[in-house]
Amino acid sequence: MSNRAFVAILIAALVLMTVILAPVGLLTGAMAGSSRVGMTSASGTVWAGRLNDVAIAGNPVGDLKVGLSPFSLATGQMRLSLRRTPLADARVVLLKGGRATGVEGLNLRTPIDLTAAGLPLSGVVGFTDVAGVFREERCLRAKGRVQLILAGDSPLRGAVLSGEPVCRSGVWSATLVGPAADGKATLAIRIDGKGRYQLEIMVATVNEVMIQGLLGSGFLRDAVGARRTVEGRL
């Protein structure tokens, strides 16, 4: 074997080892720097890594196992699987690049506080096989079921809202509806392909005590009760 061939093989081997042993921190660096996603540490490789104490928008999710699909890279897309440990039923697949971006197969039940997003609501949210996939900044696929059980000091505590996401006019939309004391509560969630979101909570009731409690939480009175709308970017 010539020296040139040996050097070429050595370089190829080093590149291959670098890819195989690439630390998961390279994959999650952007996530860790986000104001919405945080974690205490990351270990392992991009193919089989671990993220510790993950929090999204201030809401703790726990430890996650992470793995990048090598087959998806051949199509120009990054397909990243996340699974909470030790709960195998808490999982999601993130899609990035290629022709589609978003999430698939989101199954998760976790406490949530929407105060950081601008709504004075907290409780437990559950996602069942939820998908939100965008192509060219338009909603391509939406499915699954979302449930929100409200708790805390809100006049809406105890309300259970649920609904199924759909693509509507290029926007991922989910309308969660449920009874609330003497009325009905509706939470409309809208997310576009640029990561902008709108949350609108509407409460239809004639219970003046509830309405006054909602007004004290920043809601505005309307013709059927009270509502509040917030907007932001993911």
Q: What is the pLDDT of residues 10-65, one digit of tens each?
A: 444 433 333 334 444 545 544 444 556 667 777 776 666 777 777 776 777 778 77
Residue 152 DSSP class: T
Q: Domain-by-domain residue ranges, the chain?
A: 23-98, 99-234
Q: At residue 210, what are phi and psi to the nearest 5 degrees?
A: -65, -45
Q: Which two tokens stand for residue 158?
A: 């105890």
* Angle at the Cα of 97 from the Cα atoms of 93 and 99, rounded to 5 degrees: 95
Residue 223 DSSP class: S
Mean per-residue pLDDT over the chain, rounded: 79
pLDDT confidence of residue 44: 72
How far is CA 143 from its chain centroid? 14
Q: Is the peptide bond before 60 cis (omega within 30 degrees of 0)?
A: no
Q: Which two tokens stand for residue 82?
A: 């996340």
pTM over 0.85: no
Residue 225 DSSP class: E
Contacts of 30 (CB under 8 A, 6+ apart): none
